Amino acid sequence: MHKLALSTLAFLVGAAASLGDRAAWADYPERPVRIVVGFGPGSAADVAARIVAEELSQTMRQRFFIENKPGAGSNTAAVGVAKGEADGYTLFLGSAANAISASVKGSSVDLKNDLKPIALLCSLPNILVVHSSVKATTVQDLIALARAEPGKFNYGSAGAGTSLHLSMELFKNMAGIDIVHVPYTGSPQAMQDLIAGRLHMMFSPASTALPQIEAGYLRPLAWSSATRGRSLPDLPTVAQSGLPGFDTSIWFGLLAPVGTPDGIRDRLAEAIGQALNSEGVIKALRAQEMEPLQGGPAAFAAHIADETAKWAEVAAKAGLATHGNR
């Protein structure tokens, strides 16, 4: 009976603490909240963050604003946030790039240990696009050209260790071709050089590539995802084009520094979930070929673990795994 009483008391104390924690943060946020994005303005990450931030600004009655800090495949921004105040007023937009970085290069921060997940936001497929000077209309055409002249062709990415970089390295490995990597600080910068003809090809986020495809500046060859996108339903996937099993997409989610109170993370996760169910946000994301995702702290943590393992395997197959995960 004594043990039962102690057990009941412990439960009541825990429940009271949980309720007290939620009540303590009922007024959050009480000032503007900064979302740090590790890629430049106009990038897919920037677009996704701004769509969600605008909705949060309305529903949470405080301004959520974006601060762009490109560099090192968004690792620079991740480090800055991880070392910052854990008060809920500085958040980080994480992506597949951060799940990749620990396996590809000497990252000093990773999503599993240095930041706390809040919620998933959305996913986005890439499109393999080429400059008009490249005489290829299919994936197999491109592979044949690259095999005939190893090292002649180059490709751009949003930075070393990003999903765009690893997508092409996986493509190179599966196709058995040699093309040169040219890293940038974001996909819009790489896109500018691709349009100008200084690059031959790249995997580009659909949100960045589609306007250039519609304008006739670039030629699309394939979707990087397992299924075709809505915007170009007749365009095949890379897997359908002779490289079965190829599937790389981008995802985004919000994280906070370790030590951020669970009450704040739960409040944000609830507001983000509501935002991603709103008709306006869904419409805005899908206009960019982005698909809303649902998942609070626990689901996002599981997603990060799965993605880290997946990209470590991709990096290893592509010959880029310089060290193991921390």
What CA–CA distance (Å, rounded) separates 275 from 279?
9
CATH architecture of 33-124+249-317: 3-Layer(aba) Sandwich (3.40)
pLDDT given at position 25: 67
pLDDT given at position 324: 42
CA Rg, the chain, in Å? Answer: 21
Are 39 and 98 in contact by the 8 Å Cβ rule? The answer is no
Q: Which residues pair with 257 in a beta bridge?
A: 115
Are 110 and 79 in contact by the 8 Å Cβ rule? The answer is no
Helix or strand or coil: residue 160?
coil
pLDDT given at position 168: 94
Span 180-207, average pLDDT:
92
What CA–CA distance (Å, rounded) separates 277 from 291?
11
Fold identical between 33-124+249-317 and 125-241?
Answer: yes
Tokens of 250: 């981008």
Span 87-98, average pLDDT:
93
CATH for the 125-241 domain, from 3.50.50.60, 3.30.565.10, 3.40.50.11540, 3.40.190.10: 3.40.190.10
Helix or strand or coil: residue 193?
helix
> Please, what sign has the CA dihedral across residues 108, 123, 293, 320?
negative
pLDDT given at position 321: 62
Span 201-225, average pLDDT:
94
Span 79-102, average pLDDT:
91
DSSP H or E run through 54: helix 44-59
DSSP H or E run through 248: none
pLDDT band at 16 (very low <50, low <70, confident <90, very high): very low
Residue ranges per structural domain of the chain:
33-124+249-317, 125-241
Q: CA 3 → CA 7, 9, 15, 185, distances in Å? A: 6, 10, 18, 60
What CA–CA distance (Å, rounded) separates 109 from 107?
5
pLDDT given at position 249: 85
Are 196 and 168 in contact by the 8 Å Cβ rule? The answer is no
pLDDT given at position 106: 54
| Mean pLDDT for all residues in the chain | 87
Q: Which segment of 21-25, 56-60, 66-70, 78-82 scores lowest on mean pLDDT?
A: 21-25
